[in-house]
Amino acid sequence: MADGQRSEQERTEAPTARRREQSRSEGQVARSAELTAAASLLGGAALLASGGAREFARLIESTLHMSASAISSDPMTLMGAVAMLRALTMRFTSTLLPFGGALAAIIVLVHLAQTRGVISMKPLLPKFSNLNPLQGVQRLLQPEALWTLAKSILKLSVLGLVAWRSLDQTRPELAVLSGASPAQVLQVAGHALMRVMMSCGLAYLVLAAADYGIQWWKHERGLRMSRDEIVRENREAEGDPMVRARMQSVARARARQHMLHAVRTADVVVVNPVHIAVALSYDPDEAPAPLVVAMGQRKLAVRIKEIALKANVPVVENVAVARALFATARVGRMVPPVLFGAIAEILAFVYRKRLAAGGALPGLDRSIR
């Protein structure tokens, strides 16, 4: 009990959208069986008032008439009995089926309105814990069972009082039925039944609305989460931070390896002698301006220069341009327009040296490198 109270006290945070969706998928939503029962009672009263009582009176009257005819007539043959039973069955079916269908539709609509369209079979699945007699006894001793008992006593008391007062109001009508015909008796009885059902239904609806409010409050309280649960859920949704960091590290390593491999295809590497190195490639058939294929500082800059020297890629020292490229350019994109002039001078210097050595300009045969 102490652990349960401590767990309840730790759940101080509002439920997340994921927690609510999981609860809905399991069929755990705020609903009140009392509200469904009250709606059924009111729906039945409304159906009786809209013509159901008259149809039931006709059904009972025709049944009594057929029974009386069968008793007063000569001994009934088997075929006659079968015909009478068939007629009674058809009469009962034609009367009760529409009434039952309309009542079932009311129950379904009220249930869907409470659950906001949630339909789940999970609450109906058998649970082994429900078969444990010890747990059953424990549930009887819990506050929830006592609340259910108190609620039932209150419901029966209120509905019993309302039904008695409603019947008491129809006493004058019932008192004159001693000499009335069966049709009149059925009519008065149907009217009294509708009055009782309507009065009890309205009183029951008030109790059911209060019960639904309590069930909604308990449901919301049960959905509350502790801070640890929220952290755990975020971790499951976004992934373990250590795993995510490791994956990001692997992705960065692969990107850096790909970038260093691209240094071999560069036309020039612009450096700040020690700290910065930016590799540029220019092919007018691929892009209208030079592309940054690699860039780094400190140890990575040293590595870029080493690869460039091994691949015979020209390394040009220009502190201002190297710093400007590192601050404004991005790997895989063209150099900023403000640096076109400075980059053009560097490339012109490199191309003059290449032509002097018998090389080719960009856009021509680049396979000589």
Q: Is the pLDDT of residue 85 over 70?
A: yes
* CA end-to-end span of the chain: 80
State the pLDDT at residue 2: 44
- How far apart CA 21 and CA 28 sit, in angstroms, is 10
pLDDT in tens, 242-252: 667 777 778 77
Amino acid at 101: G
- How far apart CA 41 and CA 44 sit, in angstroms, is 5
Neighbours of 29 (CB within 10 A): 18
pTM: 0.50
Mean per-residue pLDDT, 311-339:
86
Q: Are 61 and 182 in contact (CB under 8 A)?
A: yes
Mean per-residue pLDDT, 117-139:
56
Domain boundaries, the chain: 14-123+140-236, 264-356
Three-state DSSP at 29 gives: coil
Helices within 123-142 (DSSP H only): 133-140
Neighbours of 262 (CB within 10 A): 19
Residue 367 DSSP class: T
Q: Are 264 and 311 in contact (CB under 8 A)?
A: yes
- How far apart CA 226 and CA 270 sit, in angstroms, is 55
Residue 50 DSSP class: I
Averaged confidence pLDDT in the chain: 76
State the pLDDT at residue 367: 36
Nearest Cα to 311, choosing from 341, 351, 268, 277?
268
- How far apart CA 280 and CA 268 sit, in angstroms, is 5
CATH architecture of 264-356: 3-Layer(aba) Sandwich (3.40)
> Which span out of 114-118, 150-154, 191-195 was modeled with the highest average pLDDT?
150-154
Q: Are 267 and 314 in contact (CB under 8 A)?
A: yes
Query: Going by DSSP bridges, is the β-strand pair 268-272/315-317 parallel, antiparallel, or unpaired?
Result: parallel
pLDDT in tens, 145-157: 777 888 889 989 9
- How far apart CA 340 and CA 317 sit, in angstroms, is 17
